[in-house]
Structure 1
Amino acid sequence: MKLKKFPLAAGVLSASLLFTAACSSDSSSGDNASGGAKGDQVVVDIFQGKVEIADQLKALTDQYTKENPNVTFNIETVGGGADGADGAAALKAKFASGNEPDIFSNGGYQEAVTWKDKLEDLSGEPWIKDAFDNTLDPMTIDGKVYGQPMNLEGYGFAYNKELFKKAGIKEVPQTLDELEAAAKKLKAAGITPFSIGYGEWWVLGNHGLNIPFSAQEDPDAFIKSLNEGTGKISGNQQFKEYVKLLDLTIKYGNKNSLTTDYNTQVTNFATGEAAIIQQGNWIQPMLDKINPNLDLGVMPMPLGDGGSVKGKISVDVPSSWVVHNGAPEADKEAAKDFLNWMVTSEEGKRALVEEFKYVPAFKTIEADAKDIGPLGAEILKYSEEGKTMPWQFMKFPDGVKEEFGASLQEYVGGQVTEEELFKSFESTWDKLKK
């Protein structure tokens, strides 16, 4: 399966989320695009939060240094979250201390607006014209592009096909009732149905809550209503259905979910201790290190009988690389040259799909299913079939996701009721909205 012209506009991201990026560039790119980093010795500081690509990124920067001996890299990886969520506070602390990185990541939309004053305008970079439609939108503000999309990511419930077969599950669950029936079969076969890691707030506050937000009749209008104080989460049927789904995972999941972190959650799934995990294709490199022969699939996270999100998984641009506009000019030029080299050179393109296991955000990067792994292939399949929904959590006011996650952890721990949970969501939004 080749990924050459990934039909984003047709299927990956909904029209309600995306707008056509206004910027393009006539600059050419190619395998020998590197050149802006020549000259005096430069150290490029990179700050990133994706622990699962730490080794791969180090190897890629080492390769760039071989081709550009005057440029070396200092990489700092902070965070246990798949989208770098846990590194957000650490990044803010670095800027507050005056120890700003030259390259870091940004989630786009609201986060792009928050950090705009620190971001270099990348609208004139050669790779702009190679990006798939809509992938630049998260980092486009007033017609200017401030970030390079890392990749495309999707998530739902990843599942172990071998364990499903062992439990006699022949059809992939599409509704909550079907999911519970499958969980009962797994449990009867001596298999823990869910590997849950609710010690990580982002599993709940980002990825979990995205499902009921996406299931609204008009997600953008619903978010707008919360910002205007006219919308309500309390009593909203989609949120009530999400809590039922959450309850199901707790009932049939591993014990001590609130003390289970990301690494442990993924390890439990990789070793076959559990059959289902709420994660996405970003865990593929970690799975390959532990058990490279897993036969995997991805299924939706159902709300009741499915409703408007039945059969769909969440796919979007998870993060973009950005350059600090206050960095020394030599550092900025080297940083921008590295980013261009990463997505235009043969070595960079190969590493992104074969080592990072990324579903590319650029039409000039080809990817075989064998390269991006079974999870990436599943994300690609759902995307090509138009069975996707965008990441609404990227539009939440700054700080809301973290507090939503903390409130959900309280619910999982039995400290608050469903009604109290929804009230806390509303008070959090009212407190933090602009």
Structure 2
Amino acid sequence: MKKTALLVISLMVLLACTLAGCGNTKAQQSETKTIHIYQFKVEISEPLNKLKAEYEKTHPGIKLDIQSVGGGTDYGASLKAKFASGDQPDIFTNEGYQDRDTWLEYLEDLSDQPWVKDLDDFARKPMTVNGKIYGQPMNLEGFGFVYNKDLFKKAGITKLPQTIDELEEAAKRLKAAGIIPFANGYAEWWVLGNHFINIPFARQPNPESYVADLNKGTARIPGNPVFDQWVKLLDLTIKYGNRNPLTTDYNTQVTLFSTGKAAMMHQGNWTQPQMDGINPNLNLGILPAPIDNDPSTGGRLAVGVASNWVVNKNSPVKQEAKEFLNWLVTSETGKHYITKEFKFVPAFKSITSSDETTGDLGAEISRHVREGKIWSWNFQRFPKGLNQDLSSSMQAYIAGVITKDEMLQQFQGAWDNLKYR
């Protein structure tokens, strides 16, 4: 009887322990929190997934759900669709300025976060409103004509072009050597409506004032001498570019360049990871985009903050989201990913990078920033929706459907329709 009683008691204890274990497991499962991240830099999607595994390993109970949407997809439209459907991300990306104002009602004030004091002054402005900071800059980026140094050498180009005539001479030499001078991804609205259109705005005597004057109606685009010069540069890329530029998307453009078929493309340092995946032995540099024959106006690259991490202030896990962003820029693992995996030029004073970590293009951007040889980014200041309209007019011009004057008139008409005061 005693043995039977002991056996029954032992079984009951074992059953109780098992049930308690199951209860703990269910409790642990119920405590797991998921941070939904929605971002448009598709070129870092692969290393972001590696970072996800690292973070989840050291932060039990936290899961990262990362969606990368960009390239040929309209990120802004897809983000609006997510909010409209109630599927709001906890962290998403924002370009700043007009994009910041569009989403301001959803943005958490991050001014009290530990990383704010370490932020580069250069990177604060796009996400600052009334002294409050609503986003964490991803990085600094710059763009111009990315070029293949080995192909330049093959074509006998010993002096880097600083003027538009010198750029055309380089294009002629490349073409004579059987190399496509320019890989143009003009199927993408942002290649034209963000980056290429930035050139004539950055060359204005005071770009910020020029944008403000366009909004006030006291400045115009048709008749502006800088725009007249800029069209010559656009014509040059078309004349010496790949066939069918209007059906060439971003991936095709980068592949055309990375495989050595083309010597130049108007892109920036964000392309480095993708190009390394295709050909890690590329010898790269970035050329400024000249629009005239005055060498003193050249030598600069357009540099700014392309994207910022923002936290949805209505998120049920916004504290966990802020903790993740703080870890990203303060932990050694996060810093490693920013510089070595993403190949970013950091926007923080305490995060240092070397030419080896950021790649050839990041090194060029860093050098231009240090030397103060930069043009401003202005396309983020445009009225909302204008960039796509400008791109459509440029595509019509490239297709030969409209003239230069008609294109510039369409620019003005689109601005007048969308301008804000």
Deviations 1:162-190 (A, max 9, x none): 00000000011011100000000000011
C-alpha deviation, 1:113, in angstroms: 1.0
One-letter identity of the residue aligned with 1:88? G
One-letter identity of the residue aligned with 2:43? E
In the TM superposition, 1:30-429 aligns within 5 A as 40-80=31-71, 86-306=74-294, 309-328=297-316, 331-429=317-415
SS at match of 1:134: helix
Structure number with the bigger relative contact order (C-alpha 8 A, sep ≥ 6) is 1
Moved more, 302-311 or 47-56: 302-311
Aligned identity (percent) is: 55
C-alpha deviation, 1:279, in angstroms: 0.4
C-alpha deviation, 1:96, in angstroms: 1.0
* Contact 1:215 1:307 (C-alpha < 8 Å) held by counterparts: no
- Paired positions, count: 391
C-alpha deviation, 1:306, in angstroms: 4.3
Looking at structure 1, the residues matched to 119 and 31 of structure 2 have their Cα atoms a distance apart, in angstroms, of 31
* Contact 1:215 1:308 (C-alpha < 8 Å) held by counterparts: no
C-alpha deviation, 1:295, in angstroms: 0.6
Looking at structure 1, the residues matched to 227 and 296 of structure 2 have their Cα atoms a distance apart, in angstroms, of 13
Alpha carbons of structure 1 residues 207 and 308: separation in structure 2 relative to 1, 3 Å:
farther
* Contact 1:343 1:349 (C-alpha < 8 Å) held by counterparts: yes
Looking at structure 1, the residues matched to 370 and 69 of structure 2 have their Cα atoms a distance apart, in angstroms, of 33
* Contact 2:340 2:358 (C-alpha < 8 Å) held by counterparts: yes
1:32 matched residue in structure 2: none
* Contact 2:162 2:295 (C-alpha < 8 Å) held by counterparts: no
C-alpha deviation, 1:395, in angstroms: 0.6
- Look at both structures and tell me which one has the larger radius of gyration over its CA atoms: 2
Looking at structure 2, the residues matched to 160 and 134 of structure 1 have their Cα atoms a distance apart, in angstroms, of 29
- Once superposed, what is the RMSD of the aligned Cα atoms? 1.2
Alpha carbons of structure 1 residues 306 and 402: separation in structure 2 relative to 1, 3 Å:
farther
C-alpha deviation, 1:224, in angstroms: 1.2
One-letter identity of the residue aligned with 2:185? G
* Contact 1:156 1:279 (C-alpha < 8 Å) held by counterparts: yes
Looking at structure 2, the residues matched to 208 and 414 of structure 1 have their Cα atoms a distance apart, in angstroms, of 18
Looking at structure 2, the residues matched to 116 and 160 of structure 1 have their Cα atoms a distance apart, in angstroms, of 41
Looking at structure 1, the residues matched to 368 and 155 of structure 2 have their Cα atoms a distance apart, in angstroms, of 25
SS at match of 1:347: helix
Deviations 1:84-141 (A, max 9, x none): x821110011111111100000000111111100100000000001111131111000
Looking at structure 1, the residues matched to 228 and 296 of structure 2 have their Cα atoms a distance apart, in angstroms, of 15
* Contact 2:163 2:295 (C-alpha < 8 Å) held by counterparts: no
Q: Give the structure with the higher percent helix.
A: 2
SS at match of 1:80: coil
Alpha carbons of structure 1 residues 306 and 283: separation in structure 2 relative to 1, 3 Å:
farther
TM-score (norm 1): 0.89
1:9 matched residue in structure 2: none
C-alpha deviation, 1:320, in angstroms: 0.4
Looking at structure 2, the residues matched to 427 and 70 of structure 1 have their Cα atoms a distance apart, in angstroms, of 53
Looking at structure 2, the residues matched to 383 and 336 of structure 1 have their Cα atoms a distance apart, in angstroms, of 29
Deviations 1:330-354 (A, max 9, x none): x111111110000000000011110
* Contact 1:148 1:321 (C-alpha < 8 Å) held by counterparts: yes
One-letter identity of the residue aligned with 2:285? G
Looking at structure 1, the residues matched to 39 and 103 of structure 2 have their Cα atoms a distance apart, in angstroms, of 15
C-alpha deviation, 1:221, in angstroms: 1.5
Runs of 4+ residues over 3 Å off in structure 1: 306-309
C-alpha deviation, 1:309, in angstroms: 3.9
SS at match of 1:158: strand
Alpha carbons of structure 1 residues 367 and 373: separation in structure 2 relative to 1, 3 Å:
same
SS at match of 1:414: coil
One-letter identity of the residue aligned with 1:98? G
TM-score (norm 2): 0.91
1:21 matched residue in structure 2: none
Deviations 1:132-166 (A, max 9, x none): 11311110001110000000000000100000000
SS at match of 2:123: coil
One-letter identity of the residue aligned with 1:352? I
